[in-house]
Amino acid sequence: MKQESVKNVLLLLAGAFVYSVGTQYFIVPAQIAPGGAVGIALMINHLTSLPIGTLTLLINLPLLVLAWFYLSHRFTVRTAVATVLVSVVLDFLVTPICPMYGGDRLLSSVYGGIVVGVGMALIFQAGFTTGGTDIAGYLLQKKFPHYSIGHALMIIEGIILLMSIFVFQDVDAGLFGLISVYVQTKVIDMILYGSDAGSQAVIITQHPQKISQRVIQELERTTTVLPARGAYSGSPTNVVLCTVRKSEFVRLKRIIGQCDPNAFVMVNETTEVLGLGFKGFAEAI
- Blockwise average pLDDT, block size 10, the chain, 285 residues: 83 96 96 91 95 95 91 87 95 94 94 95 87 78 68 81 94 94 88 72 94 90 91 90 84 92 89 62 53
Are 83 and 131 a contacting pair, CB within 8 Å? yes
* Domains of the chain (ranges, CATH numbers): 2-193 (no CATH), 198-284 (3.30.70.120)
Backbone φ, ψ for residue 243 (5° rounding): -120, 130
- What is this structure's pTM? 0.77
pLDDT confidence of residue 194: 65
Residue closest to 156 by CA, chosen among 281, 6, 36: 36
Q: Is 132 left (phi over 0), alpha (psi -120 to 50) or beta?
A: left
pLDDT confidence of residue 250: 84
Report the alpha-carbon distance of residue 14 to residue 12 in Å, rounded: 6
Report the alpha-carbon distance of residue 247 to residue 258 in Å, rounded: 19
Report the alpha-carbon distance of residue 179 to residue 109 in Å, rounded: 7
Going by the DSSP 8-state scheme, the letter that residue 278 receives in this structure is: S
**Residues 6 or more apart in contact with residue 51 via CB below 8 angstroms:** 45, 90, 91, 95
CB atoms within 10 A of CB 256: 23
Instruction: Compute CA distances 272 → 194, 215, 238, 246, whole Å.
Output: 7, 20, 26, 11
pLDDT confidence of residue 232: 85
Backbone φ, ψ for residue 265 (5° rounding): -125, 130
Going by the DSSP 8-state scheme, the letter that residue 152 receives in this structure is: H
Residue closest to 196 by CA, chosen among 285, 284, 119, 255: 284
Report the alpha-carbon distance of residue 226 to residue 55 in Å, rounded: 56
